[in-house]
Structure 1
Amino acid sequence: MPSTSATETIAPGVRRVRVPMPPGTGLPFSNAYLIDDADGRVHVVDPGSPTRAARATLRESLGAASVAAIVITHLHPDHAGGAAALAAETGASVLVHDRERAALGLIAAGLPAPDLDAWGVPPERRPELLAAAAVPTGPAAELVDSVLTGVLTDGELLALPGRRIRVVGTPGHTGGHLCLHDEEAGLLLTGDHVLPTVNSGLGLGGPTTTNPIADYLASLDRVARLDRDGLRALPGHEDPFTGLRERCAALAAHHLRRAEEVAAHPGGTVWETARTLTWTSGWDALAGFTLLSALRQTAQHREFVARAA
């Protein structure tokens, strides 16, 4: 049974901190991971939200530890929002994937405004979608940009004495999302790329020249191949789990089923297509941000199907 305290030891030299999420976000906490190095310093992966409660929880878990580096899996507020304050307090370096660094300006500007006319959204549903689209996505990216000290690339080993933790680029959720693979310890920090029960939204990191669905499927295949000898996945939300290969297969099947559903309704608008698809909570339950995300992913799937044709 999972620990009920904010901090628990996952493996030798690796601790998880349940960092509280702001109310109304749908998930109670994000996971920050504290990794000890051979020099007695700590490396923090995804420090969490930029709220007072989140900062206090993380600082209590760190105690008097010396923080060497802050690694961010992707530039969303619930993962990267606390990086600037922690870096200012500790002098730690702040690192993201080079593709996520390149997208900083796009993320800070927010996702493009949805073309509700082109999507065929009924007039009575437009106000809630415009309100959801107006919620700023940039503050965390802007804060990280102010303290960013370096970038990471695929296959690179973190500068973490005593451990061999390799960067694995996993675009899909955002264009520059990364996972971290500690092969010797049998751990994979998955961020929001693979969660144990939640289906992560895709294409949430600004415009890309590639299709987020295709990127995500390729990234799932990449991390599934790492699952050997009981690899333990350490996700950005929910609890650590095993069976990564099976979870990746389930997520891929989910999106391929959706692509088949989209392909079965080639005509009409994005709204008309989305209404025909199978949604976890049901179409009628979608509202505000969840409805906006569903429509965006429908548009991505239409593009994915068209490219594959």
Structure 2
Amino acid sequence: MTRRSYAEQRPLDLGFGVWSVPVPIPGNPLGYTLVYAIESPRGPVLVDAGWNHPEAWAALRDGLATAGIDVASVHGVVVTHFHPDHAGLAGRVREESGAWIAMHEADAAIVDMMNGVPSDVRGSFQVDMLRRAGAPSEDLPEGPAADGRQDPPAPADRRLRDGDLVDLPGRKLRVVHTPGHTPGHVCLHLEDADRLFTGDHVLPGITPHIGIYPFDRDDVDPLGDFLESLTRVGELGELGALPAHEWTFPDVAARAAQIRHHHEEKLERLLALLAERAEPLTIWETAAMMTWNRPWSELPPMLRGMAAGEAAAHLRTLEVRGVLRRLPGGDRVRFQALES
């Protein structure tokens, strides 16, 4: 199956009291977020809410109406992770309905931190991080909003942990903590229907962005966490997958195994590239050598920054595995392959 444009999307009754509602992401190649509504006697619970934009809000409101749901009746919103195409409209839904917002405690803490930091400070953080990675001046944003980021999402009312049951009367919706894409990313197992809402963790045709922020952190390993999370999701079996983008698919375990294989191959290629270089490389130099969906020279600065975050995550995993060393010094960290 290939990805269809947003214009081709319609709300769908997926059975078992579950609807999918496509919500557009204006100006983004992903096109749309699939928001899910799960029926319950106390009112529907949404899985994610979509991008905070008037067009997105109209699509969510009207899509729910197609399913016979008044947005004012929504009981709660479970956010799979804090990114704006998932959490952006959660605050608006809460304003309209009085619904609670729930997310994993790790992402809830990030949202609280983001809401407490002025936009100019966030912009300065971004510029400093890019400089330390080795980015040239032409790839640095020129202002706090130069990277196109939205304001932080609404804070959570409820904080979730792995294994929790979501407040969904008459149903069993269990939290499965799947860190990697974000520290608090969760999948949600609808146990009474053998389905898994996968958020961005397992997608049918693409792989999620796995980055490390700041790029030069040495106390976390998001790619390692992601690979472990894929293994855990695979152990749930051949559940039907309800992802946040693209399309639904029947076997989450098989797709999780494919994504694990993809990243292991990427790690092998990166290590081989580093082993060929006598001199250590910055994060930016490493990212420029890696394979992306288009040549490095054609990537705009924002996408180069995302690529650098992903390169940093792969470098960190190789460092954790003991095949790469970090060479701090000056204002830029460098990495070098260890002799085998």
> For this structure pair, what is the TM-score category when the shorter chain's length is used for normalisation?
0.7 to 0.9
Q: How does 1:226-245 map to 2 (within 5 A)?
A: 226-228=236-238, 231-245=239-253
Partner of 2:294: 281
Larger Rg: 2
1:239 is displaced (CA, Å) by 0.8
Instruction: Determine if the alignment matches structure 1 residue 166 to structure 2 residue 187.
Output: no
Instruction: Determine if the alignment matches structure 1 residue 88 to structure 2 residue 90.
Output: no
1:233 is displaced (CA, Å) by 0.7
Partner of 2:60: 58
- Paired letter, 2:63: S
Corresponding residue SS for 2:187: strand
CA distance in 1, matches of 2:184, 2:214: 10
1:132 is displaced (CA, Å) by 9.4
> Deviations 1:193-236 (Å, cap 9, x if unpaired)?
111112211137778842111111111111111123xx111111
- Paired letter, 2:133: W
CA change 1:286–1:211 in 2 (3 A) is same
**Structure 2 stretches lacking a partner, 5+ long:** 323-340
CA distance in 2, matches of 1:43, 1:29: 20
CA distance in 2, matches of 1:282, 1:4: 30
Contact 1:55 / 1:82 at 8 angstroms: preserved in 2? yes
CA change 1:102–1:258 in 2 (3 A) is same
> Deviations 1:169-208 (Å, cap 9, x if unpaired)?
1111111111100123121101111111122111377788
CA distance in 1, matches of 2:203, 2:143: 24
Partner of 1:255: 263
CA change 1:107–1:179 in 2 (3 A) is farther
Please point out which of 127, 130, 134 is paired with 1:120. Answer: 134
Partner of 1:13: 17
Contact 1:34 / 1:45 at 8 angstroms: preserved in 2? yes
CA change 1:188–1:137 in 2 (3 A) is same
Q: How does 1:214-229 map to 2 (within 5 A)?
A: 214-228=224-238
Please point out which of 171, 182, 197 is paired with 2:190. Answer: 182
CA distance in 2, matches of 1:297, 1:107: 21
**Structure 1 stretches lacking a partner, 5+ long:** none
Please point out which of 32, 40, 59 is paired with 2:35. Answer: 32
Instruction: Determine if the alignment matches structure 1 residue 200 to structure 2 residue 213.
Output: no
CA change 1:192–1:129 in 2 (3 A) is farther
- Paired letter, 1:227: G
Corresponding residue SS for 1:47: coil
Over aligned residues, Cα RMSD in angstroms? Answer: 2.5
Q: How does 1:138-157 map to 2 (within 5 A)?
A: 139-141=151-153, 144-145=154-155, 148-157=156-165
| TM-score normalised by the chain length of structure 2 | 0.80
Contact 1:166 / 1:182 at 8 angstroms: preserved in 2? yes
Instruction: Determine if the alignment matches structure 1 residue 307 to structure 2 residue 333.
Output: no
Residues 237-246 or 204-213, more deviating:
204-213
- Paired letter, 1:75: F
1:272 is displaced (CA, Å) by 2.7
Q: Aligned pair count?
A: 298
